[in-house]
Chains A and B, each alone.
Chain A
Amino acid sequence: MTNVNAASLVRVESVSHRFDRDAVLQNVDLAVAPGEIVTLIGPNGAGKSTLVRIVLGLIRPSSGRVTRRPGLVIGYMPQHFHIEDGLPITVRRFLSLARGSGPEALEAALAEVSALHLIDNPFQGLSGGETQRVLLARALVRNPDLMVLDEPVRGVDVNGQLELYDLITRIRSRRGCGILMVSHDLHLVMAATDRVICLNHHVCCAGRPEAVSAHPEYLALFGPATGERLAVYTHSHDHRHDLAGEVVDDPAAGRDRRRSVGSGS
């Protein structure tokens, strides 16, 4: 179902993972090619962060295979980022902690996310959007082949989100790196996304997002320019999950989902 090809930066094949007795991931496949943007969506507790950690090599899956291209450098942007207030640290010092970074690479990365003016600011004084930019710069400093961004726009207002999406899109086209991104929104994803994967312990569905411009209600909400940056992902599930999370065959679930997107919920 995914375009698993030999040139993938990272490839996850039939991976399952369980914490104690809970099956968090079941038979998941995922691949990211150079220059490709893959967005992971799914409800809370669906296993998105676990899958990201498996891709990063932080967790070894209970079963299945993970292959990374030899010498692959990954730039990682974690979610819920917070630095202890007792630790005084400037943006410059924070970025210099990235492994294999020189002083020039550091300033170049900050300039790339338009945050060079923040270089001597205390990290803890940054706004939500500024923090996300600096984290993006930290992921860029190592000149990565693959960027893994866990909810990069969470806690940022809509305009800030659009700017960050612009930025990520530009980074992809300039550097040609692959991007694996987790979205906090079930229906709205970045327009430049090549492939959306909807995860709920297993891969529920996957495909291309549709332009927001096709959806009048989003247009009304965000204005016409939004269509260039945001896209709607229409889920096409052939099943639904009962209260225990078990898969139940139900073709109607897909239609339900589509209706709820149209009504802007």
Chain B
Amino acid sequence: MTSNQVLSEVEFNVVGKRPVRPDGVDKVTGRAQYGGDTNLTGTLQAKVLRSPHPHARIKSIDTSKAESFPGVRAVITAKDLPLASLSKEELGGDYTALKFASDHMMASDKVLFKGHPVAAVAAINAHVAQSAMDLIDVDYEVLDSVVDVREAMKPGATLIHDELRTNDMGETADQPSNIAAHMRYEIGDVTKGFADADLVMEKEFTTATVHQGYIEPHNTTAFWNSDGQLNLWTSTQGSFQVRATVSNILRLPISKVKVTPMEIGGGFGGKITAYLDAICSILSKKTGTPVKALMSRTEVFEASGPAPASWMRVKIGVKNNGTMTAVETEMAMDAGAYPGSPVMQAIVCAFACYDVENGRIDGYDVVVNKPKTAAYRAPGAPQAAFAVESLIDEICLNLKIDPIEFRLLNAAKEGTRRIEGLVARKIGFVECLEAARTHDHYKSKVEKGTGRGVAAGYWPNRGFQSSVVMTVNYDGVVSLIMGSVDIGGTRASIAQQTAETLGIAYEDVKPTVVDTDSIGYTFITGGSRTSFATGLAAISAAEDVKQQMISRAAKIWDASEDDIEFVAGMISHKSDEELKLSFKDLARQTATTGGSISGRSSVDPTGEGNGYAVHIADVAVDTETGKTDVTRFTAIQDAGKAVHPSYVEGQMQGGAVQGIGWALNEEYFFDDTGKMLNSSFLDYRMPTTLDLPMIDTVIVEVANPGHPYGVRGVGEVAICPPMAAVANAVTGVTGHRMNSLPITPGKILEAGWENGKS
């Protein structure tokens, strides 16, 4: 019944195969070193005192009792952050951004969310630090708070930042507001488009605050050496990002900060922001010893960066045959305590699946008294997809058109101009829809008491900077050095691309992720960029190696480089058949022909190939209790080329299941003032093994022309379709449109009661 298919266009020797990951044995034996496993001699443990109030002014902080508690070595507050003593004039243009970053790490004047750090203690162990922390007296003046994104937008709403003024399409507003930014993108003539429609439907949708839910809590160990060098060992998706944040907040030159990325226990976008690093650094400077901090699960929920809650209004006009004539949406996303929600990505992704001539999108970035949101897998896109794909389902029901036929009719293709202005390159959305239509799941009968939902999703994928260095050892094994943190199997996928390019075996490439002093700048692992961009860097570095190997062969054979070729791991003379050396043979001779060979490359590619996905969900509903069960689920996605199909399937399945959780049960419960009530895995209900079926996958491969092996990137888009797919399935059983996430049993019951049938 269950199956995983790969629809390949092109086969390679190593790319597309399924070797065991290089980090695998260490991870199944407990030997892999995660951030929390760091243990330097004399390490102190830090605990962070956090605000119990979502919005309050700090009147005073008395740390004296904590400081004299036995076993305590240092206590800090925001006064210990360098920004506190710098004036606006001294800092110049970056003041607001830096003040926000510094205050986010530790509040100086106001706390803006429950969990906001106000002080920190370093002590001989975590228990002592905790006890001492409880002795810190903070005098707060509690302020009114604003929690809901729509409430925060209203004129007269409680202001979170006194000086925040809306950036309204480039113009700065006169009056302060919680709306940090308003943006609008438009194409064609929307009024005319709606006038041309036979059917216009419009609905509002909301989604709740959700968390990435990585199992490893945030952690950091800092050691500020007496020579002024600051070393950090941390769990991060971007070691260079941590370096930048810490050097900015602590006013240090970047070369004074070295960040070693440890093995990372999940991130999904949530481990880009550096929460503990500057705090531990200052504590280390004060104590002269290494300082380590590990967040509790409650701290992770309350004080890291969840994904925004959102409100969206979507309007779509169609002809009777299903052709879309106009679309319009307004989307407001809660950024949390500081500006920076992913509403721009929501704008980019909202209608990117469709070829629509007329469209307008308005987006609002809004601050509220909640933790500052962070990236979460395809940030912004899942919320937008939920709203748009739900309304499309409603239209299909209305017009009695098959949902896949509708999407095929309106599908974006190469050359489609999107509302934000970009033109689609070669994409595989139609191929995904075709694979869905012909899939056994879609052709099967829908069981009684079960509904079937279909939805699509889009994520642009990313390029950005990556650096790779590789060294040929004398035994022909290539040491592959990179700055990209491995979060989902990229050591394997980059090693495969290296081996493919060099024509050697996968086992002959040894990948290592290194610290910020040991490799050139490399952007975060995220946005579905690493296998693409770092892959390109590896391919380019491998080409560098190949060229040097040719030079060495030329030297050995006293021939011209032009007469030598490197094909499939063999270096040979084009005209003299006798002259040929395998990669390994030549590697053995590098010592005597000029020394070791190293290839290197730093890239900043722009040829990323956009990602599309189509999901099919069967959901059973117990209409008497509102209980839902996902009984069958199929994820179809264009990977361009799946470098390691098992790991691509893993991304598709993992993304789909996070989406199922987002659809059905995951949400932050806040009280009226913005205090989170369910900050544990018991009450923040992520799916367990028992809540899921096997997740079938179909990898579609429409090669990305921007990559030699056709790689697009796969991590993000898998989380975009599930919410609407599940919602559409529930609607199929209950007859009620579920327009608010999560679709809890309580909401299903209430929808029934409102419609008079319980």
Q: Do A and B bind each other?
A: no
Interface residues, chain B, CB within 8 Å of chain A? none
